[in-house]
A = this chain, B = another copy of it.
Amino acid sequence: MCTPGSIPVFESISAADFRSTIQPTRRPAILRGMPVGPCVPAWADLEHLKRHTPNGPVRIHVTTHAHMDFRRKNFQYGTLDFHTLLERASRDPEEAITEPFIDPRELYYLRSVSLDPRSRETVRLERDFPDLAHEFRLPEFFPPDRFFSSVLRVSSPGVRVWTHYDVLDNVYVQVVGRKRAVMWAPSDALNLYLDGDKSRVVDIDQPDLAAFPKFAQATPFEGWLEPGDILFIPAMWFHNMTARDFGVAVNVFWQNLDQGLYDRKDPYGNRDLLPGAKALRMLDNVMKQLEELPEDLKDFYGRQLIARIEKKCLLNEKCPE
Chain A residues with CB under 8 Å of chain B are 26, 186-187, 189-190, 194, 235-236, 257-258, 261, 272-273, 275-276, 278-280, 282-283, 285-287, 289-310, 312-315
Contacts and interface: CB of A to CB of B under 8 A. Distances in A.
A270 to B, nearest CB: 14
A286 B276 contact: no
Nearest to A303: B189
A303 B298 CA distance: 19
Contacts of A261: 292-293
Contacts of A278: 289
Copies in the complex: 2
Q: Could you tell me the dominant secondary structure of chain A's interface residues? A: helix
Contact of A307 (B194, B236, B273, B282): B194
Contacts of A273: 293, 297, 301
Contacts of A309: 283, 287, 302, 305-306, 309
B294 A313 contact: no
B301 A313 contact: yes
Nearest to A313: B302
A286 B305 CA distance: 11
Contact of A276 (B187, B236, B293): B293
Contacts of A306: 190, 306, 309-310
Contact of A235 (B26, B297, B304): B297
Nearest to A307: B190
A296 B282 CA distance: 21
A50 to B, nearest CB: 42
B315 A190 contact: no
Q: When A and B form their complex, which 3 residue pairs have the shortest distance between CB atoms, in order from nearest?
A: A302-B313, A276-B301, A186-B300
